[in-house]
Structure 1
Amino acid sequence: MATRRRAREIVLQLLYEADVNPGREPESSYAFLRSRMQGRKALTKFGDQLLVGTLEHRQQIDEQIGKLTTNWSLSRMAIIDRNILRLGAYEILFGDTPGSVAITEALALASRYGDKNSPRFINGVLDKVLKNKRTGAAP
C-alpha cells in the first residue's frame, strides 16, 4: 500500500519521533521515508514535503492550535493527537491539499492511531483552523 495516506502515516511516525526524541538527522528521516515508500519517488517527495514543512512551521502551527484549543495546552495533549493536528494544520495552512481533504485524512489517522475521542477532538480543532484560514480571521 503506497498511497498519500501511507505517506502521511510514515510522516506521522517521524513527527512523533521528533516530538519525543528530537535530534534525528534529516538524512536518516528521509532514508526511513524513502524505504517505506518502496521507491515511489512522487510519494517520497510528497512525504518529505509534509515532514520538512510541518517541522519548519511547527512553532506557527503550535501557536495557532494553542489559541484554538480551550483548556488544552499542547503539552497536555496525547502525543499522537498533537502530531496529527500539526500535520493536518500544516496541510491546511501551507500545503496544496484542499482543507476538507486534509481534515478527512487527519481523521483517518486519528481513527487508526488515536483513542476513541481523538477523531472528534481533531475534527473540531482542524475545522476551526480551516474556517479561520477561509475568513482570514486570526485565531
Structure 2
Amino acid sequence: MKTRPSPDRRQARVVVLQLLFQDDLNPRNNPAKGEEMIRNSLRQPDLVRFAEDLLAGVRRNRRELDERLQTVAENWALDRMAAVDRNVLRLGAYELLHTDTPPSVVIDEAVELAKSFGTENSGAFVNGILDCLLRREKAASTGSAGHRGERDASS
C-alpha cells in the first residue's frame, strides 16, 4: 500500500522551500524571519513544528547535504544548478537522510515541488539525483550493517 502525502505537509514543504531559496540567495537573511513566516503561513501547531524542524535541519546540515548531493550529482556542480532545484534537493536529501518520512513520499514530494517551482526538466532531474542518493544510502547501510552492530554492542 502506497503512503499518500498529506496536502498540509506539502504546504509546509512549500514554505520551507521558499525560505531555503531566500537563504540561498541572501545568506545574511535573518533566520527569525523564516520562523515568523512559518507561523504566519501554517496555523496548525503540528505543521508549524514539522516545517520548523525541516528548516532547522536543512540549515544545520547544509554542508553535509551539499557534500552528499555533490557525490551523486555526476557532472553537475551544486553551485551551477538552478537555485530552486538545489534547494529542493537539499530539502529532499534532509528528509531522506534525517527523518522517518517514507522515501517514496520524500521523492514524490520533492519531484512535485520541482515541477511546481522549477523548470520543465526539474522534476526528472530531482528524481534522478534523490533516487541515486537513496540507492547509495541503502547500499552503504546494507554493506556496513554488520560492522555497525558490532560497534554498537561494544559501546
Partner of 2:99, secondary structure, is coil
Distance 1:79 1:44 in 2: 24
The answer to whether structure 1 residue 82 and structure 2 residue 86 are counterparts is: yes
Q: Which amino acid aligns with 2:30?
A: E
Partner of 1:22, secondary structure, is coil
Report runs of 4+ in structure 1 exceeding 6 Å deviation.
Answer: none
Distance 2:34 2:115 in 1: 25
Distance 1:97 1:114 in 2: 23
The answer to whether structure 1 residue 108 and structure 2 residue 112 are counterparts is: yes
The answer to whether structure 1 residue 126 and structure 2 residue 127 are counterparts is: no
Uncovered stretches (5+) of structure 2, i.e. residues with no partner? 1-6, 144-155
Residue of structure 2 in register with 1:16 after alignment = 21
| Per-residue deviation, 1:72 | 0.8
| Per-residue deviation, 1:71 | 1.3
Q: Which amino acid aligns with 1:42?
A: D
Q: Which amino acid aligns with 1:103?
A: I
Q: How much is the aligned-residue C-alpha RMSD, in angstroms?
A: 1.4
1:2-38, CA deviations, whole angstroms, 9 ceiling, x for partnerless residues?
Answer: 700000000000000000101223322111111000x
Q: Percent identity?
A: 43
TM-score (norm 1): 0.93
Uncovered stretches (5+) of structure 1, i.e. residues with no partner? none
Q: Which amino acid aligns with 1:36?
A: S
Tell me how many residue pairs correspond in the alignment.
Answer: 136
TM-score (norm 2): 0.84
